[in-house]
């Protein structure tokens, strides 16, 4: 009797190990979720919004500039949510401390349709980006006011007369 129970237990153990091995093998073949780095998010999410905002302002397309400013603000919130701490820096606090004033100045220039004020405010916003890069040991990343569009399939001019 003991021998048959032992054989049954061994068989059950072997079957369990084989099943576990198959489950682990299947899990290792499943694709892993992509987890973008902070740099990926800045390049894919933030930088295009900055560029489009700058181009819209250069074209005095205030409706679109307002849209892109809101998109940029939201993008910063989403990046801070995805990467709350970067190299021991609380990203929400850093973004709030550095970006609120320059973005507010850009918003004011857009609301008033003042091209000269937009140029000044956008330059300060861009300088703030670079100061943030320096403070997080990324001084080699220098953002500038756009000189050309990276989006040749988009017209940034205003459709309003």
Distance, in Å, from the CA atom of 72 to the CA atom of 94, rounded to the nearest integer, reads 15
What angle, rounded to 10 degrees, do the helices at 47-58 and 62-82 form?
170
Query: What average pLDDT does this structure show over 21-30?
Result: 64
14 has pLDDT over 90 = no
Q: Is residue 17 part of a domain?
A: no
Q: Is residue 63 part of a domain?
A: yes
Total domains in the chain come to: 1
What per-residue confidence (pLDDT) applies to 9?
A: 57
Q: Is residue 6 part of a domain?
A: no
Q: Is residue 142 part of a domain?
A: no
The label of the residue with tokens 């756009």 reads 146
13 has pLDDT over 70 = no
| Model confidence, pTM | 0.79
Cα-based angle 64, 74, 122 (whole degrees, multiple of 5): 55
pLDDT tens per residue, range 83-132: 999 999 999 999 999 999 999 999 999 999 999 999 999 999 999 999 99
Q: Residue 29: pLDDT band by 50, 70, 90 thresholds? A: confident
pLDDT tens per residue, range 32-68: 888 899 999 999 999 999 999 999 999 999 999 999 9
Q: Is residue 113 part of a domain?
A: yes
What per-residue confidence (pLDDT) applies to 120?
A: 98
Three-state SS annotation for 9-55: HHHHHHHHHHHHHHHHHHHHHCCCCCCCCHHHHHHHHHHHHHHHHHH
Q: Is residue 29 part of a domain?
A: no
Q: In which domain, by residue range, is 100 found? A: 38-135
Structure tokens at 49: 């919004």
Q: What is the CATH number of the domain that holds 86?
A: 1.20.120
Q: Is residue 32 part of a domain?
A: no
* End-to-end Cα spacing for the chain: 95
10 has pLDDT over 70 = no
pLDDT tens per residue, range 137-146: 999 999 999 9
What per-residue confidence (pLDDT) applies to 84?
A: 94
What per-residue confidence (pLDDT) applies to 67?
A: 98
């Amino acid at each position: 009797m003991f021998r048959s129970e032992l054989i049954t237990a061994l068989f059950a153990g072997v079957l369990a190990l084989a099943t576990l091995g198959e489950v682990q093998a299947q899990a290792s073949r499943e694709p892993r979720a992509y987890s973008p780095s902070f740099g990926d998010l800045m390049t894919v999410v933030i930088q295009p919004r900055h560029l489009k905002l700058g181009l819209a302002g250069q074209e005095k397309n205030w409706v679109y500039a307002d849209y892109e400013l809101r998109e940029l603000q939201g993008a910063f919130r989403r990046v801070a949510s995805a990467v709350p701490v970067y190299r021991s820096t609380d990203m929400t606090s850093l973004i709030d401390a550095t970006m609120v004033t320059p973005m507010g100045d850009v918003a004011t220039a857009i609301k008033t349709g003042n091209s000269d004020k937009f140029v000044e405010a956008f330059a300060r916003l861009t300088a703030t980006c670079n100061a943030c890069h320096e403070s997080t040991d990324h001084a080699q990343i220098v953002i500038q006011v756009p000189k050309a569009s990276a989006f040749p399939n988009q017209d940034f001019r205003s459709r309003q007369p």
